[in-house]
Each structure stands twice: as C-alpha cells, then as structure tokens.
C-alpha cells in the first residue's frame, strides 16, 4: 500500500460511517433487511428522516450484495432528500452520508472522489465543532442508533446507548425520544408478577415521555397501549388504541400493532381482518404473516377446546397457519420464532421436515446467544417430542434445557409446567420413580422453593442410592439453606 493510500485509509477510519461502526456481515440478514428497507422507502412508512435513513442503510446492504452502482445511487438520493427535508440544517445530517460515500468510493477504486467526501465531512466538523473529539453530534448518534435498531436484535443495546447519548445533548428532541422509547419497548421483558406497577417500567416511562412530546404519533401510542395491556391497565390501553384508530387506521406500520393488541384482548377475528388489510399493502412483511399465523393458531386452539369440533375447519386453520409461517420464513430466513412455530404445525404430516426446522432454529438461536430465543426453541422442541414423536426422554431433555435459562418467563413457566406434568404422570404409575422425583426437585429448585426441592431429591436418592447427580444437587441445596 502506497503512502497516499495509507493516508486516505487513515482519514476514512476517522469518519463516522456504517463502514466503521463494526456492523458484522454475519449478523446481517441481507435479503430480509433489504426487503424491509425497500418497503419502507416504497410505502413511505414512518417519519421523513427515517425514510431518508433507509436510503443510506439500503445502500450499505446493496454494497454487501455486490451492487455498488445501486449503492452509490441510493446514497446520492439520500443526500438529495436530506437537503430537501432539512434545508439549511442538512449539513449535520449529511456527516454519515458523506462518510458512507467516501468509503464506497474507496471500495470502488475512485480514490479522488473518496478524498472529496472526506474533505466535506472534515469541513462540516470544523464549521460545527462539538468541543471534544470523543463527542459526536446528536444527528450522528441518532443515525447510528437507528442503524443498530434496524440491523439486528444483537445490536439493540448499542442502539439504546446511542439514543441516550443523543438525548444527553438534546433532551427534548422528538426523534431521539421516540427512538429510545421504541428500543426500550423491544428490549424490556415484562413479568407482571414481579414488576407490579406499570409506572416502574422504564419502557412505559419513556413511551409516555415520547407521547408527551408528540401526542399524534400513532406508533408510539400503539406501543404504549400494548405495554400497558401487559400490565393489565386495560382501560387506559383501550382509550389509547381508540385514539390510534382515529389517527392512523390505514397505515400498515400502525395497523400491525393494533391487530396484535386485539389478538391479545381475545378479539381474534377483528385482528385477522386488520392484518389482511395490511397484507394487501405490505405483502412482503414477515412480521404480518407471523401475526396472522398466531391468530389462526389461537382460533385453532379455541376450536379444539370445544370438543367435538369440525375436523374440516380445524384442518383449514392449520393450512392457513402453515401458509403464513412458510411465507414468514421465506421472507425472513432468520425468523427463529416463526421457524419453530412452523415445525410444530407440520406435526406427523412431515416429521423429518419438522425436526430439520427445529434443529435449524436451535442452531440459529444458540449462535445469536439470545436466551429468550433459545428457551422458546427448547420449549417447542420439547413439545415436538412429547406430543408427536412420543420420545419422552427427549422431551424432558429439551424442557430441562429451556427451564435452566430462567423459570420467570412465560416460556420458562411452560417448561416447568410440562416437566411437572410428565413427572406426576409417571409417579401415578410408580411412586418410586427416581427420575420423576428428581425432575420435581429440579423444577422446585428453579422456582426458588429450595426446601421442597430438598424433599424431592431426598426421595429420589432413597430410590436410587448411587445417583451422583441427585447427591450433588442435594448437597448444594443444603449449603444454600444454611
């Protein structure tokens, strides 16, 4: 590398750009992200600044899809639309765009143009100094945050950190407050049994703050309603959702949240009607297909519980569920939850395909190192073996792995419930079944009931004196109780 090349690369590395933000290609679902970004551009979903951001982000995706010319065109469009939208205030919004253009020019061999874009960024930074080399402009923090939020679930913590930095500089900014609220909504898990007051929720606090700044943002109102309904604050949630229906009833970006709300409230047919309407305008949305599949699953379970039920209607609901889950997985191959749900719908109709999907979903969940996804797949894998392959030992193994993440989540509680169910059924046939007693000890320990866990392990040891696993668990429990 010549001295000139080294000097240019040194300048490039100092730029704020998607090429310098450590966005790992292996964490990126290129096709899925490409579809979502293109749809946001084509349909005009969201605020104008978000759509402009999608042009720049899609350019980065196109570069990795070996389409540099299209990437360059998208960045040029992003620059043009930024100037149209922000006018005299556009320069700070163009820092990242010029950084991306500088890197793209470098990668395509146009070093002269790369130098020019580097100079444009440097000129803006001289004109608008931050006062510290370690502090970025809020516009840069904001674009960085939105990029992380759209990139992958693995980058959500980085998105939250960037939104917080932007808010530290501009506490009352509408966009940064909204972004921070959305990021918290996506990352905050709710357990109403341990978090009794809705106002203790950071996501609810921030959603209220964002809605206070922008009372007519239908997305924020819908997310707040969904979060409140999780805390059983149904009256306020219903009032908010009525307002959402007034503001944006025909916007696909909003309607999907309305539909999810109605499904959770038991109004499944209303949810289906809304989602079908959205699908007419947004047919490439894996999320919408998954939500429709969940609606048909809910209807299928309700029909099953009636007994006797119409088998033809049951099969029709199953076919609809399979169709929408297959579409969800096709549109987003990394959609772990849809993949695992699809596997169970195949049942004995295609057992090998179901096993293949579950194994693939499990590998992806483990690679993402996301506890919630892993636990979800272990639960589905356990159900698959318990109800379809009838391999009880395999079901126990998967439920146990799911339980060991945490018993506090809905999926964790289901793993615990199914292990208890299996153990109690076995004990009804053989009161000295040591494995069943050990399972109950394991579940009690996971639930925090150490004294009962000790009782079960003692009974298990009495039936299987040489079991090192039970003895080890018993010793640990007794030490914890001292």
The whole-number pLDDT of residue 45 equals 65
Digit-coded pLDDT (tens) for 301-329? 888 888 777 888 989 999 999 999 999 99
Would you say residue 26 lies in a domain?
A: yes
* Alpha carbon distance 361, 337 (integer Å): 8
Digit-coded pLDDT (tens) for 160-215? 999 999 999 999 999 999 999 999 998 886 554 444 466 778 999 999 999 999 99
Residue 32: pLDDT over 50 = yes
Contact assessment for residue 477 and residue 445, using Cβ atoms and an 8 Å cutoff: yes
Report CA-CA distances (Å) from 89 to 95, 104, 145: 12, 25, 20
Helix residue ranges per DSSP H, 335-448 = 336-346, 351-368, 371-384, 392-403, 410-429, 434-446
Most confident of 3-7, 172-176, 200-204, 371-375: 172-176
Rounded (to 5) percent helix, strand, coil in the chain: 80, 0, 20
What percent of the chain is modeled with pLDDT above 90?
61
Listed as own residue / partner, the contacts of 4-9 with beta carbons closer than 8 Å and 24 or more positions apart are 4/111, 5/111, 8/106, 8/111, 8/114, 8/115, 8/118, 9/106
Give the contacts of 65 (CB within 8 A, at least 6 positions apart).
Answer: 30, 34
Would you say residue 116 lies in a domain?
A: yes
Closest CA to 111 of 231, 7, 267: 7
Would you say residue 96 lies in a domain?
A: yes
The whole-number pLDDT of residue 249 equals 64
When pLDDT is averaged across residues 84-113 and rounded to a whole number, the result is 95
Give the Cβ contact number of residue 146 at 10 Å.
25
State the greatest distance between any 2 C-alpha atoms of the chain, in Å, as a whole number: 81
Digit-coded pLDDT (tens) for 447-473? 989 999 999 999 999 998 888 888 998
For residues 283 and 74, which has the higher predicted lDDT (pLDDT)?
74
Residue 375: pLDDT over 80 = yes
Q: Where are the beta strands (DSSP E) in 40-187?
A: none
63 pLDDT band, cuts 50/70/90, is very high
357 pLDDT band, cuts 50/70/90, is very high
Listed as own residue / partner, the contacts of 345-354 with beta carbons closer than 8 Å and 24 or more positions apart are 345/297, 345/318, 345/321, 346/322, 347/388, 348/388, 351/388, 351/389, 354/384, 354/388
Closest CA to 182 of 151, 227, 137, 144: 227
When pLDDT is averaged across residues 26-43 and rounded to a whole number, the result is 80
Residue 17 structural domain: 3-128
When pLDDT is averaged across residues 352-372 and rounded to a whole number, the result is 88
Tokens of 131: 């006062």
Residue 423: pLDDT over 90 = yes
8 alpha-carbon distance from chain centroid = 38
Would you say residue 38 lies in a domain?
A: yes
Would you say residue 318 lies in a domain?
A: no
Give the Cβ contact number of residue 294 at 10 Å.
23
Tokens of 147: 């990029």
DSSP 8-class letter at 389:
I
Would you say residue 23 lies in a domain?
A: yes
Average pLDDT over the chain, rounded to an integer: 89
Would you say residue 184 lies in a domain?
A: no
88 pLDDT band, cuts 50/70/90, is confident
Residue 26: pLDDT over 90 = no
Residue 16 sits in a domain whose CATH number is 1.25.40.10
The whole-number pLDDT of residue 289 equals 92
For residues 262 and 101, which has the higher predicted lDDT (pLDDT)?
101
Residue 395: pLDDT over 90 = yes
The whole-number pLDDT of residue 347 equals 66
The whole-number pLDDT of residue 118 equals 97
Residue 417: pLDDT over 90 = yes
DSSP 8-class letter at 387:
I
Digit-coded pLDDT (tens) for 228-278? 988 888 899 999 998 988 886 667 678 878 888 888 888 999 899 888 888
When pLDDT is averaged across residues 67-80 and rounded to a whole number, the result is 96
Q: Give the number of residues written for the chain.
A: 482
Q: How many domains does the chain have?
A: 1
For residues 136 and 47, which has the higher predicted lDDT (pLDDT)?
136
Would you say residue 21 lies in a domain?
A: yes
Residue 6: pLDDT over 90 = no
0.85 exceeded by pTM: no
DSSP string, 172-207: T-HHHHHHHHHHHHHH----TTT---GGG-HHHHHH
What percent of the chain is modeled with pLDDT above 70?
95
Residue 348: pLDDT over 60 = no
């Amino acid at each position: 590398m010549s001295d000139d090349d080294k000097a240019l690369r040194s300048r490039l590395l100092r730029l704020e750009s998607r090429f310098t933000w450590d966005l790992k290609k292996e964490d990126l679902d290129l096709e899925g992200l490409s579809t979502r970004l293109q749809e946001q551009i084509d349909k005009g979903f969201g605020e104008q600044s978000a759509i402009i951001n999608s042009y720049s982000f899609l350019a980065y995706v196109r570069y990795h899809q070996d389409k540099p010319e299209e990437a360059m065109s998208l960045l040029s469009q992003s620059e043009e639309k930024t100037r149209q939208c922000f006018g005299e205030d556009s320069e700070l919004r163009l820092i990242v765009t010029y950084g991306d253009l500088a890197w793209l020019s470098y990668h395509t061999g146009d070093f002269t143009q790369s130098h020019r874009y580097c100079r444009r960024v440097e000129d803006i930074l001289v004109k608008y100094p931050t006062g510290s080399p370690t502090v970025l402009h809020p516009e840069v923090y904001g674009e960085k945050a939105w990029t992380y939020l759209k990139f992958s679930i693995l980058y959500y913590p980085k998105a939250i950190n960037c939104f917080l930095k932007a808010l530290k500089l501009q506490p009352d900014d509408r966009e940064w407050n909204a972004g921070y609220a959305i990021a918290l909504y996506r990352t905050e898990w709710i357990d109403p049994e341990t978090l009794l007051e809705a106002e203790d929720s950071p996501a609810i606090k921030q959603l209220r703050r964002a809605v206070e700044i922008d009372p007519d943002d239908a997305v924020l109102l819908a997310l707040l309603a969904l979060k409140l309904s999780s805390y059983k604050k149904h009256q306020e949630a219903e009032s908010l959702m009525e307002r959402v229906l007034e503001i944006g009833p025909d916007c696909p970006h909003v309607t999907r949240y309305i539909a999810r709300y109605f499904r959770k409230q038991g109004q499944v047919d209303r949810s289906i009607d809304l989602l079908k309407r959205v699908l007419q305008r947004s047919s490439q949305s894996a999320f919408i297909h998954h939500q429709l599949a969940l609606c048909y699953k809910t209807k299928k379970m309700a029909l099953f519980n009636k007994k006797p039920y119409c088998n033809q209607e049951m099969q029709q609901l199953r076919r609809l569920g399979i169709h929408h889950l297959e579409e969800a997985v096709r549109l987003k191959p990394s959609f772990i939850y849809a993949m695992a749900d699809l596997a169970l719908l195949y049942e004995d109709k295609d057992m090998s395909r179901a096993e293949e999907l579950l194994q693939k979903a499990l590998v992806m969940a483990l690679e993402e190192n996301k506890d919630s996804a892993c636990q979800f797949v272990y639960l589905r894998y356990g159900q698959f073996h318990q109800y379809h392959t009838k391999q009880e030992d395999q079901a126990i193994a998967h439920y146990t792995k799911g339980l060991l993440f945490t018993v506090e989540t809905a999926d964790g509680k289901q793993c615990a419930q199914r292990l208890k169910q299996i153990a109690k059924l076995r004990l009804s046939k053989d009161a000295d079944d040591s494995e069943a007693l050990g399972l109950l000890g394991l579940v009690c320990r996971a639930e925090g009931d150490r004294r009962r866990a000790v009782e079960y392990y003692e009974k298990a040891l009495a039936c299987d004196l040489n079991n090192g696993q039970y003895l080890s668990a018993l010793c640990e429990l007794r030490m914890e109780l001292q």
